[in-house]
Chain A
Amino acid sequence: MGTILEVDNVGKHFGGLAAISRLNLAVSEGEILGLIGPNGAGKTTLFNVISGYFPPSAGRILFQGRDVTGMQAHEIVRLGITRTFQASALFMKISVLENVFTGFHLSYATSRWKRLLRSRSARSEEAQLKREALSILEFMGLGPLSGEAAANLPHGHQRILGISMALATHPKLLLLDEPMTGMNPVETENMISLVRQIRDRGITVMLVEHDMKAVMNLCDRVVVLNYGQKIAEGLPREIRENRVVIEAYLGKQGAK
């Protein structure tokens, strides 16, 4: 398996504060990589840097061997990196189906003029994308809710819709920011199985999550951040027994 994403000596400073410093990280194609660490460790900042929301202060980001450092968020998506957000970020006023449709922004093959004039080919493309949107929703278990306004969905379903929209962009690498937050154990189990199925479709997944049990259960590999630096990396089993990690989470006293 090749490396799909390489974070090379990346730093991100906000004024004098270093949110991330000299971080090196590689994501292998087809894996589910967990990113954990105490609050303020720099996990979401790293997502924001990779997905083009802030340029890094130092270092490079390589995606499939190509330097994408400093590219803008909407350009990064075109290359195949899509991220989701911590809070239920959805277009609340419109339907579930329309939300997914918005994710097809870069998927059109017909010309702009044809789409504006609603030519036959543009209409058939629209119908085909609608079928694809429905199949994504079906796959994610939201099929029966496609006509509902996003605002009316329960929290757990909103999180799933957020990921469904990301899937509509046809990502190669999916960055999930705390996908299980606020979920009950049943919903968490469901999310774990969904993320596995997404990976089985050939999409590499990198996720930030606080639910340790879920991370250990789901991820092939885990990277631990603390104060913006990588303190450990390895299989879930190794991380669970890593003394440095336990200290970072529980403090030196707790680790004894």
Chain B
Amino acid sequence: MVNNPYYIHLLIMVGMNAVLAMTFLLLLRTGLITIAIAGFWGVGAYASALLSVKLGLWVWLALPTSAFISAIVGLVIGLLLIKKGGIGFVMLTLVFGFIVVLVFGTFEAFGGYTGIYDIPPPEAIRLPFFGLVEFTSKTPFYYLMLFLVSLVVLVFNAFYASWTGRAWRAIGQGPRLAESLGVSIFQYRLLAFVIAAAAAGLMGSFFAHYYGSIVPATFGPQKTIYVHVYAILGGIEYAFTGPLVGSLVMIVAPELLRIAKEVEPIFTGLLVILLVMFLPDGLLGLIGHSRPSGPAENLSRVARWVKEAFTRGKSASQG
């Protein structure tokens, strides 16, 4: 199975969407709901595509550069919108999500609605232990994604575990109280917004070089809604395992069930309704009722759960 390029492709998509879902949870923790995630994903993809195709920039440089560009766009949008707060913020980020698609589609410099083609894959590199890595098959992309997911998890976790994480959680749980303890709501929300934009941009850059071509419609707000579903399905209290489990289920299940692309939105829509009604804590919420304290604990809990599920199945088939 691991050697089947189709499954490798699915796993790559799981990793990418999980990171996007992690950015949603990061912002949610600070009490912000944004429909701009796919927009920043698109900014990263377009920045990277243009840098490498038009300017011939080395792809390995285009990756961090486009994350940085996405962060700068996030800074500007955040400065403009975060003070609004509440539903106004949600709607304006939705507007941003639409504008990104319009801008990429309308201006010829961005390739118009037919998009950008012939985006190069990352250059071959020589790594210790791996030797010469050439991006000619899906497997190296898989390892690159694995590296990027780990990087994002490490960075996010460093923030969550520090005073920043405390300030974010304080703002999310009680903004007035947080302010009374000296937390600047605006500054810390802006910081979260910029970090989320950078991570989404990094994923966009990866996506552009992995697919080799991009079109504006991919980066519309509908994508952001899907990202929200991944995070909520996994469980919003689980900053890392939630998005991974959620996107794994949402991406692999329709494929395994051979659901046609036309029917898939109905499947997803139904799932959202069922989620809201029966599973507000997500799939991981089913396993543990006590609040988790860290990713390691969550992982061990999932591992236990998976192990139990398998051993139960085995004993049933034997009996």
Interface set of A (CB-CB < 8 Å, partner B): 51, 53, 72-74, 77-78, 82-85, 89-94, 98, 101-106, 108, 115-118, 149, 165-166, 168-169
Q: Are B158 and A116 in contact (CB under 8 A)?
A: yes
Q: Are A102 and B176 in contact (CB under 8 A)?
A: no
Q: Are B166 and A101 in contact (CB under 8 A)?
A: yes
Q: Are A117 and B180 in contact (CB under 8 A)?
A: no
Q: Are A93 and B176 in contact (CB under 8 A)?
A: no
Considering the chains assembled together, what is the distance between the CA atoms of A166 and B178 in angstroms? 11
Interface set of B (CB-CB < 8 Å, partner A): 158-159, 161-164, 166-167, 169-170, 173-174, 176-185, 291
Considering the chains assembled together, what is the distance between the CA atoms of A94 and B159 in angstroms? 17
Q: Are B183 and A94 in contact (CB under 8 A)?
A: no
Q: Are A98 and B174 in contact (CB under 8 A)?
A: no
Given A74-B184, A103-B181, A168-B181, A90-B174 contact (CB < 8 Å): yes
Q: Are A85 and B176 in contact (CB under 8 A)?
A: yes
Q: Are A77 and B181 in contact (CB under 8 A)?
A: yes
Given A74-B185, A78-B182, A118-B161 contact (CB < 8 Å): yes
Q: Are A94 and B169 in contact (CB under 8 A)?
A: yes
B31 to chain A, nearest CB (A): 13
Name 21 interchain pairs, CB-CB below 8 A, sorted by A. A73-B179, A74-B179, A74-B183, A78-B182, A85-B176, A90-B177, A91-B177, A93-B173, A94-B169, A94-B173, A103-B181, A105-B167, A105-B181, A105-B183, A115-B162, A116-B159, A116-B162, A116-B164, A118-B162, A166-B181, A169-B181
Q: Are A82 and B177 in contact (CB under 8 A)?
A: no
Considering the chains assembled together, what is the distance between the CA atoms of A48 and B176 in angstroms? 11
Question: Which residues of chain B are near A106, meaning CB under 8 Å?
Answer: 181-182
Q: Are A89 and B177 in contact (CB under 8 A)?
A: yes
Considering the chains assembled together, what is the distance between the CA atoms of A218 and B237 in angstroms? 44
Q: Are B166 and A166 in contact (CB under 8 A)?
A: no
B159's nearest neighbour on chain A, judged by CB, is A116
Given A102-B166, A116-B162, A83-B180 contact (CB < 8 Å): yes
Given A105-B167, A116-B158, A117-B158, A74-B182 contact (CB < 8 Å): yes
What 6 new A-B contacts, CB under 8 Å, besides A74-B185, A102-B181, A106-B182?
Answer: A84-B180, A91-B170, A102-B178, A105-B181, A105-B182, A149-B291
A232 to chain B, nearest CB (A): 29
Considering the chains assembled together, what is the distance between the CA atoms of A7 and B238 in angstroms? 47
Question: Which residues of chain A are near B184, meaning CB under 8 Å?
Answer: 72, 74
Considering the chains assembled together, what is the distance between the CA atoms of A93 and B237 in angstroms? 11
Q: Are A51 and B174 in contact (CB under 8 A)?
A: no
Considering the chains assembled together, what is the distance between the CA atoms of A189 and B185 in angstroms? 36
